[in-house]
Structure 1
Amino acid sequence: MCQSIKKNAVIASLILTASMIFSVGVNANTVNANNANANDLSSLSAKAKAEQIVENKHNHQRVVLSAEQRAKLQSQRDQLAKQLAQIEKQNAQLSETFATNEKILAEKSKTLQLATGSLGELFGVVRLAAKEVQSNYQDSLLGAQGQRFEAQLDKVISTDALPSLPLLTDLWQAMSYKIRTSSELSSVSISYVEGDGKTSTMPAIRLGDIGLVSSKGYLNWDFTRQQASNYLALPSDAPNLESLTANLKEGNKAVLLDPTRGVLLAQFANQPTLMQRIEQAGVVGKIILALLAIGLIIALIRGVKLMQTQQQISKQLKHPQTPTDNPLGRILNVYQKEKKQSVESLELRLLETVLDEQQGLERGLSMLKLFAALAPMLGLLGTVTGMIETFQVITEFGNSDPKVMAGGISMALITTVLGLVAAMPLLLAHNILSNRAESIRNTLEKQGVSLVAERAEKESDTRNENNPVPVGG
């Protein structure tokens, strides 16, 4: 690098000198008469030589400085090479030590496994049992009574050695106390949270570590806050403090229990009542129930009316000579008024009267039939509406949570059930009333035909009397 710098400096000075000589030669050729230019050339040459001397000194200094830096870097490189050699030597020594320790550890593990035998499995079982007992105490109704075993169970769980006899004894004491208290009925005083958020103390009976029974029935126990509150709903045969105390005094120990410590009782509140299900059906369900109510009222009124009519007809059959205000009596009145007419005219008049009475007997039955056909269609409408709502919910919130879709599906199914439930009694009522009306109509037709036949027989007898047939004729 220093040699190249020197060469560049020399070349630069030569170029400068040549240019100056060239310019001097040009000036000499162009102006031969001017001798004063010689002095200028000599001064320029002296100036170029002085600058060349300065440049050479500067280049010499740079060469000296570059050599010092190079020597310094070489010294650092040698030191790093020595350190790298030392590190590689240490790495080789550590690798040999690691391999030796691996062999020793494998031998020690085999020795430990042979020495412990089945005690290793026992250690795992003991720790697992201690964790389960600790979890049961935390989720039980024993409260502070079970917390005294907390430190003992922590020692069993956190130990790294094989279970010693004192640790096994502590675990046995915690488990035996849990088993013993699970079969006890004891009176306790608990912290109770009322509906308005106020906290009070009230007496209760603790059923082992399964449930709490107070004067309000079963209580929902908060294991975190150590407080009790009411369930949203309870079964009708759930005990309370008074009934449980009376049963215990009488020697009756049969009690309704929730072995899941309140999970089933909490789910019981999620079972909707009949009114809640009707509310879930929405407007369509209420319309179906309205049709059912109207149809049942019509069926009841028409059933009573047909029963009264049948009784009146039965009484009229016993006294045909005295017609009253009933369908058969009206037919008899028509017969008495029109009996002087011909048989054909009388038959037509009686048939007209029977048809009029049939319309009265079947009044309202067509409405029952319409309601019976309309109820399932409304149920189908509610089903479609509920499914549309469900798909809308899925579009907005996705289908990851089934509870979000439960409302629309419940509405769809309940309206379908209501439609079928409403259609079945209406169809049954329509069938029964139609058969009863048909029976009465058949009775009226039979009586009308018998009256026409009686009149035809009378006319035939009269005709035979007026026109006797000659003997032997």
Structure 2
Amino acid sequence: MPRTLSVLLTSCVLLVTAFQVSADDLANLDNKAKAEQVSENAHNQKRVILSAEERVQLTTQRNRLAKQLAQIEKENTTLSDTFSANEEILADKEKELNLATGSLGELFGVVRQAAKDAQLNYQNSLLGEKGKAFDVQLEKVINTDALPSLKLLTNLWQAMDYKARTGSELALTSIPFVQGDGKTTQLPVMRIGDMAMLSEQGYVQWDFARQQASNYLALPSEVPSLSALKSEPNQPILIDPTRGVMLEQYAHQPTLMQRIDQAGIVGKIILVILLIGLVIAIIRGVRLSMTQQQISKQLKQPETPTDNPLGRILSVYNKEKKQSVESLELRLLESILDEQQGLERGLSMLKLFAALAPMLGLLGTVTGMIETFQVITQFGNGDPKVMAGGISMALITTVLGLVAAMPLLLAHNILSNRAEVIRNTLEKQGVSLVAKRAELESDSSSQVYA
């Protein structure tokens, strides 16, 4: 019992101690909570005060912006009214300007266009520094926004007048000239108006960008020289009015051998056929001419046959004249046919060549077009230069074929007619001999019957 009582007393002491500790903690928590509440109330009151101030500021700012908007709208209305009024004034002023200027507006356009044309001519002219000075004056006429003044019109007139006067003059001058080795020297030339410059070797090519001259790659044979023009200034000369463009293109004109090379193997075959045909035609023409002369001489001396077609026919007659008329006629016909074969020798070859030449030309045309289409397939048709080879072959072979066929056909026709004339002469003489033999036989029969 005493032990149990001691335990109970101890427990009671512990409970009382614990209760006292808990009461202190609760007091501390209550004090802390009250402090936090006071701080939060103070913060909330401060926030309320700040919100009220911001609201006042925002309200003030809104009122200020509303006043600015009203003022801007008022200014916008005023500016719109002013713009409309200015538009009406501008339209009235434009009408007044059109009425005041009349046709001067169109005249101004014509003046500016004339100034542009004159400036372009001066930029590509051979007039030198004087032309550059006029170029500056013409630029002022072109760039002016107002109606051209009298001074600008005078400048335009002076530029055009100077261009017209110098375009009809011959003037000796010295220009920079680039030699073949690349060195630059001063070359004496004669400026022919505004079109060309003539030296001792002929016309020289002027480079407008570098302001120096050089030789053309090729010149026509009719081009004069500087000394010849000095000695005879009134002689007619060959002039390029394009300031060297045509003379520059003259160098690109292919020669006869270059055109033959462009025709390819087909063109060379056509030329070989033409050459062989002309040789045959010349040989047969000379042969037929000699034969005709021999026959003409033989007709004057029928009693003495010589070595010619008519003489051989007369020899056959003298040899076979004792035969009957029918046999003699057949012998003479045989001899005439033999002579005809000799007269027409080679003419069939001429006819064949005349027919073959245009066919080969057509073959070359087809071959060239096939080559052109192959180039188009590989490179497209954007650059005509890549197709020039096939087109040149196609056209030149056609020309060569026609050129070869025409003289061959003409030669065949002439030689055939001449051979026909000789054959008719032989037939006529043969018929005459047969008739003569028949008359003799008829006279002999008449005498027998008598």
**Distance across 2 between alignment mates of 1:311 and 1:183:** 64
**Distance across 2 between alignment mates of 1:247 and 1:168:** 40
The 1:81/1:298 distance shift into structure 2, 3 A limit, reads same
AA at the equivalent of 1:468: Y
> Aligned-pair distance for 1:148?
2.4
| 2:295 aligned residue | 313
The 1:342/1:173 distance shift into structure 2, 3 A limit, reads closer
| 1:3 aligned residue | none
| 1:185 aligned residue | 170
> Aligned-pair distance for 1:355?
1.9
> Aligned-pair distance for 1:85?
6.1
| 1:40 aligned residue | none
Which of 224, 249, 261 aligns to 1:279? It is: 261
| 2:355 aligned residue | 373
**Distance across 2 between alignment mates of 1:346 and 1:168:** 106
**Distance across 1 between alignment mates of 2:99 and 2:431:** 112
Tell whether 2:431 aligns with 1:468: no
1:256-271 correspondence to structure 2 within 5 Å: 256-271=238-253
Alignment TM-score, normalising by the size of structure 2: 0.76
The 1:223/1:458 distance shift into structure 2, 3 A limit, reads same
**Distance across 1 between alignment mates of 2:213 and 2:240:** 16
Which range moves more in the overlay, 159-168 or 219-228? Answer: 159-168
Tell whether 2:325 aligns with 1:352: no
- Taking only aligned residues, the RMSD between alpha carbons, in angstroms, comes to 3.8
> Aligned-pair distance for 1:293?
1.5
Query: CA offsets, 1:132-184, max 9 Å, x none?
Result: 33222211101112222344333333333443343334334333333332232
| 2:151 aligned residue | 166
Give the length in aligned residue pairs.
409
Query: CA offsets, 1:242-265, max 9 Å, x none?
Result: 1111112xxx25443333323333
The 1:325/1:78 distance shift into structure 2, 3 A limit, reads same
1:325-404 correspondence to structure 2 within 5 Å: 325-399=307-381
AA at the equivalent of 1:329: G
| 1:34 aligned residue | none
SS for the counterpart of 1:200 is strand
AA at the equivalent of 2:285: G
> Aligned-pair distance for 1:110?
4.2
The 1:89/1:382 distance shift into structure 2, 3 A limit, reads same
| 2:418 aligned residue | 436
AA at the equivalent of 2:204: L
> Aligned-pair distance for 1:361?
1.3
SS for the counterpart of 2:232 is helix
> Aligned-pair distance for 1:78?
4.9
Tell whether 2:197 aligns with 1:206: no
**Distance across 2 between alignment mates of 1:358 and 1:418:** 33
Which range moves more in the overlay, 322-331 or 159-168? Answer: 159-168
Unaligned runs of 5+ in 2: 1-32
The 1:455/1:226 distance shift into structure 2, 3 A limit, reads same
The 1:177/1:322 distance shift into structure 2, 3 A limit, reads closer
Tell whether 2:205 aligns with 1:224: no
AA at the equivalent of 2:198: V
**Distance across 1 between alignment mates of 2:242 and 2:310:** 71
Alignment TM-score, normalising by the size of structure 1: 0.73
**Distance across 2 between alignment mates of 1:445 and 1:117:** 96
1:92-131 correspondence to structure 2 within 5 Å: 92-114=77-99, 116=101, 119-131=104-116
Unaligned runs of 5+ in 1: 1-52
Checking the alignment, whether the CA contact within 8 Å between 2:123 and 2:135 is kept in structure 1 is no
> Aligned-pair distance for 1:374?
1.0
**Distance across 1 between alignment mates of 2:300 and 2:292:** 13
The 1:353/1:96 distance shift into structure 2, 3 A limit, reads same
> Aligned-pair distance for 1:365?
0.8
> Aligned-pair distance for 1:202?
0.7
